[in-house]
């Protein structure tokens, strides 16, 4: 059976179970709205453009923050891979900070930047930087020694060796880092927007929760999940698989 058919059956079953729970009336509709009510709420949000504005605002925050995090993460990754002292000191701190949830950075961002877009972008940057740093570090440190020896034998050294051998050889790890940075930044974005003054999907989610609009809460959760899944599988996963195959690592993909 094709994968797409399996997924359609799976999600159709989930909807039927959800609707069945709603019909049983165990919980009030304010807690468990029907799938039809949620669909109508999503449709209304797109019809009056409020959800469109939220999605556009969220992607603006994401793209700015992700771009900054990729630049900072790449530079830090190169630094940790090439400078032993930096790896033994700064690297330890980055490894520790990587485990800190993004929501923890929100109070700090609000104190530093207030309830502005800068706070959201700061949280997104933090969310993506550390994972990109660690992947770049691993990618550069794991360049096969035989490549380095072969290049040195042919007279390559210094910056020539770095840009012609080290950088190309570390690209698979860098692409994986970009994909993970996107995922972490997307999660961080929602955490930052939930405590912002809007616009954005996270802000509207928090607003809907405050007014007990459960159909909108569930609708936005679905939108966040669908966008995250589509971007990851149709964009980043495909890029990653192509790069891994190009570098002779297709089996690992």
3 state SS for 19-44: HHHHHHCCCCCCCCCCHHHHHHHHHH
CATH number of 34-247: 1.10.3720.10
Answer whether 33's CB lies under 8 Å from 213's CB. Answer: no
Per residue in 6-36, pLDDT (tens digit) is: 989 999 999 999 999 989 888 888 888 999 9
CA distances from 128 to 98, 135, 211 (A): 9, 11, 32
Section 205-233 average pLDDT: 89
Q: In this model, does residue 179 exceed pLDDT 80?
A: yes
Residue owning tokens 């802000």: 203
Average pLDDT, the chain: 87
Neighbours of 109 (CB within 10 A): 25
Q: What is the CA radius of gyration of the chain?
A: 22
Per-residue pLDDT tens over the stretch 34-48: 999 999 999 999 999
Report helix, strand or coil for 183: helix
Cβ atoms of 202 and 189 closer than 8 Å: yes
pTM of structure = 0.82
The span from the CA of 206 to the CA of 190, in Å, is: 10
Residue 240 has pLDDT above 90, yes or no: no
Query: For 137-168, how does the pLDDT look when each residue is reduced to its tens digit (9 = 90+)?
Result: 988 888 878 877 888 888 777 788 888 888 88
> What is the helix (H) or strand (E) element at residue 96, kind and residue range?
helix 84-98
Domain extent listing, the chain: 1-32, 34-247
Encoding tokens for residue 28? Answer: 């009030």
Highest mean pLDDT among 95-99, 171-175, 180-184: 180-184
Q: What is the pLDDT of residue 13?
A: 94
Other residues' Cβ atoms within 10 Å of the Cβ of residue 153: 8
d(CA 137, CA 79): 8
H/E segment holding residue 79 = helix 50-82
């Amino acid at each position: 059976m094709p994968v797409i058919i399996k997924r359609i059956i799976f999600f159709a079953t989930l909807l039927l179970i959800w609707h069945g729970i709603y019909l049983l009336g165990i919980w009030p509709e304010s807690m468990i709205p029907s799938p039809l009510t949620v669909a109508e709420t999503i449709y209304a949000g797109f019809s009056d453009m409020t959800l469109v504005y939220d999605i556009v605002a969220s992607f603006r925050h994401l793209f700015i923050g992700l771009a900054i995090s990729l630049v900072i993460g790449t530079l830090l990754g190169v630094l940790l891979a090439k400078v032993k002292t930096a790896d033994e000191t700064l690297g330890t701190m980055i490894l520790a900070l990587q485990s800190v949830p993004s929501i923890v950075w929100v109070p700090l961002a609000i104190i530093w930047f207030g309830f502005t877009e800068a706070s959201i972008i700061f949280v997104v940057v933090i969310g993506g930087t550390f994972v990109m740093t660690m992947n770049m570090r691993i990618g550069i440190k794991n360049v096969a020694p035989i490549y380095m020896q072969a290049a040195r034998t042919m007279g390559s050294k210094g910056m020539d060796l770095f840009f012609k051998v080290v950088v190309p050889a570390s690209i698979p790890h860098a692409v994986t880092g970009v994909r993970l940075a996107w995922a972490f930044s997307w999660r961080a974005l929602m955490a930052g927007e939930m405590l912002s003054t809007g616009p954005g999907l996270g802000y509207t989610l928090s607003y809907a929760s405050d007014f007990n609009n459960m159909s909108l809460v569930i609708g936005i959760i679905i939108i966040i999940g669908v966008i995250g899944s589509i971007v990851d599988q149709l964009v980043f996963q495909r890029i990653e698989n192509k790069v891994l195959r190009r570098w002779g690592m297709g089996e690992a993909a």
